[in-house]
Amino acid sequence: MKKELKKIIYMGTPYFAKEVLKSIIDAEYQINAVITQPDKPVGRKRIFEKTPVRIMAEEHQIPVYQPLNIRTDHDYIFEINPDLIITCAYGQMIPKSIIDRFLCVNIHASLLPKLRGGAPIHRAIMNGEKETGITLMKMALKMDAGDTFHQKRISIDQYDTLGTLKDKLIALAQEMIVDQLPMILNNEIVFVPQNETDATFGYNISKEEEFVSFERPYQTVYDHIRALIPSPISYGIVDNVKIRFHNVLASDMQTDEENGSIVGLYQDHLAIALDKRLLLINKLQVEGRKIINAKDFYNGMGKNLIGKKFM
């Protein structure tokens, strides 16, 4: 039996949002509709793939809407007349007509007002932050600028990648929204305005930012690489060969080689010189080829790149 008779619309698109939706369903709240981004073609064959949130909704027989533009295609929301709209990584700005009419709360993966925007988890790691968290907030017309009502922090481990940190934040978001839903639905939450002077932004990662320059400090390069694992994956260029880094490990091993130089194979990792230390890569991918481990790379073309430098 559902815990609440009140009507809820859930808006989200990627895996993160799917897992949060699952927690709400598992807590036996009634979801009257799901709104997600349109399906997109993927791969070389350009086969349309359902969004993770759509898949979850269909598994639970929840009606799904996929407007190309929520600003102009949202009459069904007024027809449903929900008591609550929950958004989590939806991917479109919600129009004023919806925000003004309904209670809309957003689940955001940062400690607002820090890192507003579409890539707060990537940016937290890339910026060298020591902590991040989840913020529950009221939707506003300005991106992630709405009043907040619940926030929790977690530490960013030195070994965290985008993938591991995202998993931690998913678990935190699941716990927080399920815990707060009774109070949200009963209008018992207290909203607190954000301090605009403290606002920073976590904009989406551009194609240009996937490139890693080894002419920067060790920690900056290490944070850059791990912030893009498992997606979109950073790369470097050596001897006109584009190589993507699917794994990275910091080390204290010393070297006198120039920054960006491929030193060789160290404990089955490709060793790259940086700030008199070795940066270690275990899994990599030459452009147009499959992901392989560093030992196989070294035993193939890698031996011919010893002493050469990443640009």
Q: Would you list the domain boundaries of the chain?
A: 8-198, 207-305
DSSP codes joined into one string, 125-182: HHTT-SEEEEEEEE--SSTT-SPEEEEEEEE--TT--HHHHHHHHHHHHHHHHHHHHH
Find how far residue 124's CA is from the centre of its chain. Answer: 10
Residues 6 or more apart whose CB falls under 8 angstroms from that of 296 comprise none
- The CATH superfamily holding the domain 207-305 is Formyl transferase, C-terminal domain (3.10.25.10)
Question: What separation, in Å, do the N-terminal and C-terminal C-alpha atoms of the chain show?
Answer: 60
Sign of CA dihedral 218, 224, 229, 232: negative
pTM to 2 decimal places: 0.95
pLDDT at 291: 98
In this prediction, residue 36 carries a pLDDT of 98
**8-198 and 207-305: same fold?**
no
Smallest CA-to-CA distance from 176 within 86, 246, 266, 247 is with 86
Mean pLDDT per block of 10 residues along the chain (311 residues) reads 77 98 97 96 82 98 97 96 98 96 98 97 98 97 97 98 98 98 96 97 97 97 98 97 97 96 96 98 96 96 94 82
Task: Report pLDDT for 236.
Answer: 98
CATH fold of 8-198 reads Rossmann fold (3.40.50)
- In sequence order, what are the residues at sequence separation of 6 or more whose Cβ sits closer than 8 angstroms to the Cβ of residue 66? 35, 36, 37, 38, 39, 51, 54
pLDDT of residue 1: 43
Give the pLDDT score at 47: 84
